[in-house]
């Protein structure tokens, strides 16, 4: 959850953040280890919710173990003279001079923040008519609304956080390949257009990254970004999710619910996996796009719903149109003439070393890996000046001389790197991220289990064995020992095979379910209907038979019928 730090002479901004923006956590000046939202002091007029002047801000920041993700800073501070910057007020003349200092106090605070925390991004709450030289700093964002509301503030904060994240990941994501260069140039033009954008690309290539962190932040839209992955929502709930529903319009609808179109009005709506929509929803979607309004299920009132649409798919929509599975008129609405195609990782091998490095660093800092990393650091004591931000990934032999004393250094051999570059990466970035995470878990666990005495190792130097990379890429011995494979071997011994018949009109989900069904039937026969053994084979020792039973039910496999067939 992104952490904000509000510096404002009034508590209103932070109050509104607490009331309406639960997606953000806030830094407070109290020492209670609970979020403000649940603190009983909050409604008693707690004065510690935000910093009201520079002194309070500096004090709060100096006590934070980790800096906030973003500072929200007001421009105008109506405070007594002694609480205003600069400390030395000689030269400030009369009431008018002090008024000017109050009116631009935020800028003086900003100057100090930049000096003491140069990497801390700041959203400055100002107005379009405020007269001052806007600092040219990529870490400063301006929320220029005469009178703000929480929705606008949330949009500005989100946009700043997204730009910030894109700025960190961006150069690595874009890389140096010509295909990405062309895509970047295309986006530079399209992001200024209000027309829909269609993004095509294999799974895991970063389509959502483009929509959320590049297209929306650069669009200048006033409304929020709303993201929906159509492949994750049950078909029956999709109409209500997209278009909203009135209370009681369907079973389980207990309150009025705005759909994503309404929520994203004047902002950006990112519909991922648009190729998954059925014919009826395609028709309704087209209507909403044409009219710019939406009517919730069970309601008669049309409400404004005119977001900029960004749609993504890993399917070939043009082919679906030819096959009659996607409406041509809707396809044309998606502005296919300017569609963006995100290249797969295997098409940009020159970028792989940087992407691998980034994936490992990202995984190393992941919250889920923290306990293992901490255990490792505790076993191999680290120097006092250890700083996580300095962590590095080095390609070559593990050498203590190349490792940083003040950080974690991960070594990958040149052979492992060559193997990673040669891999086809069907899951693209997603697969690479998982590989990096898995490799670190394996390597950390191996070192923690090793018998070697701590003094024999340099602190925080971690070599990823080539065998780990090899096994994770699918050709190693480790994989052959996995339970699923041994079950398959048992089936092979019985001469059973899972067969897939190619048919047009089948979705990937249908095909997967079909394969899974055949596999379970074959396993059921091989294990002579013993669900406990099946559970152990499929999910590991001690797994419950209920899991297998449940999955079989979901796939329409009835135990009674299978047992009947066996008899």
Partner 1 sequence: MMDPWARRLRHDIVKRAVWAARDLRSLEGAPSEGDVAALRRGLYDLRDEEGAAVTARSLWQRMRLEAPRNTPELDRFSEAIEEAYAAVDSLPAGLAAAVSALLRIEERFEELARSLDQHT
Closest approach of partner 1 to the CB of residue 10, in Å: 6
**CB distance 267 to 310 below 8 Å:** no
For 94, counting Cβ atoms within 10 Å of its Cβ (0-12 exposed, 13-18 middle, 19+ buried), the class is exposed
Q: In this complex, which beta carbon is closest to partner 1, that of residue 72 or of residue 281?
A: 72
CB of 78 to partner 1, least distance (A): 5
Give 131: exposed, middle or buried? Use CB within 10 Å, 0-12, 13-18, 19+: exposed
State the nearest-atom distance from the C-beta of 17 to partner 1, in Å: 11
Give the CB-side neighbour count of residue 433, counting CA atoms within 13 A.
Answer: 13
CA–CA dist 162, 267 (Å, integer): 15
State which residue, 299 or 514, has the beta carbon closest to partner 1.
299
- Nearest-angstrom CA–CA distance, 100 and 119: 28
Which among 243, 265, 262 is positioned nearest to 253, based on CA atoms?
Answer: 243
CA distances, 495 to each of 400, 489, 522, 523, 533 (Å): 53, 10, 10, 12, 19
Token representation of residue 141: 């964002």
- 36, two tokens: 């403000």
Give the residue from 23, 25, 24, 28 showing the smallest Cα distance to 11.
Answer: 28
**Of the candidates 68, 88, 85, the residue with the CA atom closest to the CA atom of residue 1:** 68
**Nearest distance, CB of residue 109 and partner 1, angstroms:** 15
Residues making contact with partner 1 (CB under 8 A): 9-10, 12, 15-16, 19-20, 43, 52, 76, 78-80, 83, 99, 102-103, 127, 129, 131, 146-151, 256
Looking at the Cβ atoms of 16 and 375, the one nearer to partner 1 is 16
- Closer CB to partner 1, 52 or 333, in the complex: 52
CA distances (Å), origin 245, targets 47, 292, 430, 434: 41, 17, 34, 38
**Residue whose CB is less far from partner 1, 151 or 379:** 151
Does residue 414 contact residue 395 with C-beta atoms inside 8 Å?
Answer: yes
Q: Which is nearer to partner 1, 11 or 388 (CB)?
A: 11
Q: Which two tokens stand for residue 183?
A: 């895509």
Q: Give whichever of 128 and 236 is closer to partner 1, judged by the CB atom.
A: 128
**Nearest distance in Å: CB 309, partner 1:** 22
Compare residues 50 and 526 and give the one whose CB is closer to partner 1: 50
Q: Which is nearer to partner 1, 149 or 510 (CB)?
A: 149
CA distance 7 to 27: 10
Shortest distance in whole angstroms from residue 9 CB to partner 1: 7
- Calculate the alpha carbon distances from 483 to 132, 517, 559 in Å: 67, 18, 23
Q: Which is nearer to partner 1, 254 or 567 (CB)?
A: 254
Please, what is the minimum distance in Å from the beta carbon of residue 16 to partner 1? Answer: 6
Rama region for 205: left / alpha / beta (φ>0; ψ in -120 to 50; rest): alpha
End-to-end CA distance of the chain: 56
User: Strand 293-295 vs strand 302-304: parallel, antiparallel, or unpaired?
Assistant: antiparallel
Q: Is 472 left (phi over 0), alpha (psi -120 to 50) or beta?
A: alpha
Maximum Cα interatomic distance, the chain, rounded to a whole number of Å: 100
Distance in Å, CB of 67 to partner 1, minimum: 27
We find the least distance from the C-beta atom of residue 274 to partner 1, in angstroms, to be 28
Report the alpha-carbon distance of residue 314 to residue 547 in Å, rounded: 31
Taking the least distance from each CB to partner 1, the nearer of 79 and 286 is 79
Pull the structure tokens for residue 445: 């666990």
Question: Looking at the DSSP assignment, which residues form a beta bridge with residue 200?
Answer: 313, 341
- Bridge partners (DSSP) of residue 73 are 7, 124
Residue with smaller CB distance to partner 1, 125 or 412: 125
* Shortest CB 11 distance to partner 1, Å: 9
Q: How far apart are CA 381 and CA 471, in angstroms?
A: 30
Q: Minimum Å distance from CB 28 to partner 1?
A: 19
Shortest distance in whole angstroms from residue 452 CB to partner 1: 58
């Amino acid at each position: 959850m992104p952490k904000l730090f509000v510096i404002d002479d009034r508590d209103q901004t932070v109050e509104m953040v607490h009331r309406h923006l639960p997606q953000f956590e806030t830094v407070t000046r109290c020492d209670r280890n609970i979020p403000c939202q649940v603190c009983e002091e909050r409604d008693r007029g707690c004065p510690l919710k935000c910093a009201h002047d520079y002194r309070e801000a500096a004090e709060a920041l100096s006590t934070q173990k980790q800096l906030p993700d973003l500072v929200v800073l007001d421009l105008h501070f109506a405070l007594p003279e002694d609480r205003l910057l600069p400390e030395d007020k000689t030269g400030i003349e009369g009431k008018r001079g002090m008024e000017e200092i109050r009116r631009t106090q935020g800028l003086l605070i900003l100057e100090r923040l930049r000096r003491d925390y140069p990497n801390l991004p700041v959203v400055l709450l100002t107005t379009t008519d405020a007269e001052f030289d806007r600092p040219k700093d990529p870490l400063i964002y301006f929320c220029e609304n005469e009178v703000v509301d929480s929705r606008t503030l949330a949009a500005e904060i989100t946009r700043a956080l997204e730009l910030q994240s894109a700025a960190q990941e961006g150069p690595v994501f874009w890389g140096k390949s010509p295909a990405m260069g062309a895509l970047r140039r295309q986006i530079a033009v399209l992001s200024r257009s209000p027309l829909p954008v269609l993004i095509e690309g294999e799974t895991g290539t970063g389509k959502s990254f483009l929509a959320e962190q590049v297209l929306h932040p650069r669009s200048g839209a006033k409304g929020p970004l709303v993201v929906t992955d159509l492949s994750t929502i049950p078909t029956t709930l999709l109409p209500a999710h997209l278009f909203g529903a009135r209370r009681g319009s369907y079973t389980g609808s207990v309150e009025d619910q705005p759909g994503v179109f309404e929520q994203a009005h004047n902002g950006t709506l990112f519909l991922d996996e648009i190729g998954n929509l059925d014919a009826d929803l395609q028709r309704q979607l087209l209507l909403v796009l044409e009219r710019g309004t939406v009517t919730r299920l069970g309601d008669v009132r049309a409400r404004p719903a005119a977001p900029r649409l960004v749609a993504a798919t890993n399917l070939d929509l043009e082919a679906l149109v030819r096959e009659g599975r996607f409406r041509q008129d809707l396809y044309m609405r998606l502005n296919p003439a300017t569609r963006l195609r995100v290249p797969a990782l295997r098409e940009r091998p020159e970028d792989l070393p940087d992407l691998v490095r980034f994936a490992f660093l990202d995984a190393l800092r992941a919250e889920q890996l923290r306990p293992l990393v901490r255990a490792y650091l505790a076993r191999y004591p680290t120097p006092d000046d250890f700083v996580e931000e300095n962590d590095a990934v080095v390609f070559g032999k593990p050498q203590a001389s190349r490792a940083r004393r003040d950080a974690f250094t991960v070594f990958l051999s040149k052979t492992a790197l060559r193997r990673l570059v040669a891999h086809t990466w069907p899951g693209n970035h997603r697969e690479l991220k998982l590989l990096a995470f898995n490799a670190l878990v394996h390597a950390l666990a191996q070192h923690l289990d090793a018998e070697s005495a701590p003094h024999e190792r340099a602190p925080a130097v971690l070599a990823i064995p080539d065998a780990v990379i090899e096994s994770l890429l699918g050709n190693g011995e480790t994989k052959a020992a996995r339970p699923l494979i041994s079950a398959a071997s048992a089936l092979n011994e019985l001469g059973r095979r899972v067969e897939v018949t190619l048919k047009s009109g089948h979705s990937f989900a249908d095909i997967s379910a079909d394969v899974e069904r055949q596999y379970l039937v074959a396993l059921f026969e091989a294990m002579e209907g013993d669900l406990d053994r099946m559970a152990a084979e499929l999910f590991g020792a001690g797994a419950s038979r209920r899991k297998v039973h449940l999955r079989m039910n979901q796939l329409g496999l009835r135990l009674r019928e299978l047992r009947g067939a066996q008899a």
